[in-house]
Chains A and B, each alone.
Chain A
Amino acid sequence: GQNIDQPTEMTATEGAIVQINCTYQTSGFNGLFWYQQHAGEAPTFLSYNVLDGLEEKGRFSSFLSRSKGYSYLLLKELQMKDSASYLCAVHYYNNNDMRFGAGTRLTVKP
């Protein structure tokens, strides 16, 4: 199976830091994606981790540990516009297939 688990909802305060975890039970995948999806819109790419470790891109960072079977997305200096769903997806290279978690709905409050 490819169980991909994320918390359903999270709430954080503007200006704070939040970590969204994603655990998975699969192997043989190429990498792990994080996407952001605002209500009523298509998902947009945030990050892609192939190697273990932390990838930083501005306010967003993503971490992968294959041995521990988990990833996280770290959002710093939260802004109101960061209120959205965050989807992690396991990526298989051979057919470019992606399997998505259920998504985490983040609400940023003033």
Chain B
Amino acid sequence: SAVISQKPSRDICQRGTSLTIQCQVDSQVTMMFWYRQQPGQSLTLIATANQGSEATYESGFVIDKFPISRPNLTFSTLTVSNMSPEDSSIYLCSAGGQGDEQYFGPGTRLTVT
């Protein structure tokens, strides 16, 4: 199994600012993903973080709002840009091998005021 850490664990940010969330995996993984979980709801996939190329975004999510980096097989970042209160959510990183189960990071709880 993979152990995944995220930084920061939580943050309170002002409207209009940006926050970058880091995700670190303790071993090389093929696939890394970013999810959002709004209060009381299930997980929604934001994008697949591709190593060495642009991320693949799901419908409703765009690169300008959620730029993602993945410089290597163990690390990825998600930036939430020009934040509004609607972006208040938990952001989860997950990782796994091709066809394997996905493991989740502990999440980053973001509050936008």
- A and B: interacting chains: yes
Q: Which residues of A contact B (CB under 8 A)?
A: 30, 33, 35, 41-45, 48, 87, 89, 93, 95-103
Q: Which of A30, A89, A103 contacts B99 (CB 8 A)?
A: A30
B91 to chain A minimum Cβ distance, whole angstroms, is 11
Q: Are B42 and A87 in contact (CB under 8 A)?
A: yes
B102 contacts chain A at the CB level, 8 A cutoff: yes
Which interface class (under 10, 10 to 19, 20 to 34, 35 or more) fits B? 20 to 34
Q: Are A43 and B43 in contact (CB under 8 A)?
A: yes
Chain B 29-66 residues near chain A, CB threshold 8 A: 30-31, 33, 41-45, 48, 56
Contacts of A97 in B (CB 8 A): 33, 45, 48
Q: Are A96 and B103 in contact (CB under 8 A)?
A: no
Q: Are B103 and A45 in contact (CB under 8 A)?
A: yes
Contacts of B105 in A (CB 8 A): 42
Q: Which residues of B contact A (CB under 8 A)?
A: 30-31, 33, 41-45, 48, 56, 92, 96-107
Contacts of B103 in A (CB 8 A): 45
Contacts of B44 in A (CB 8 A): 100
Q: Which of A48, A89, A96 contacts B31 (CB 8 A)?
A: A96
Known contacts A44-B104, A93-B99, A95-B48; can you find 19 more A-B pairs with CB under 8 A?
A41-B106, A42-B92, A42-B104, A43-B43, A43-B104, A45-B102, A45-B103, A48-B101, A87-B42, A89-B43, A96-B96, A96-B99, A96-B100, A96-B102, A97-B48, A98-B33, A100-B43, A100-B44, A101-B42
Contacts of B106 in A (CB 8 A): 41-42
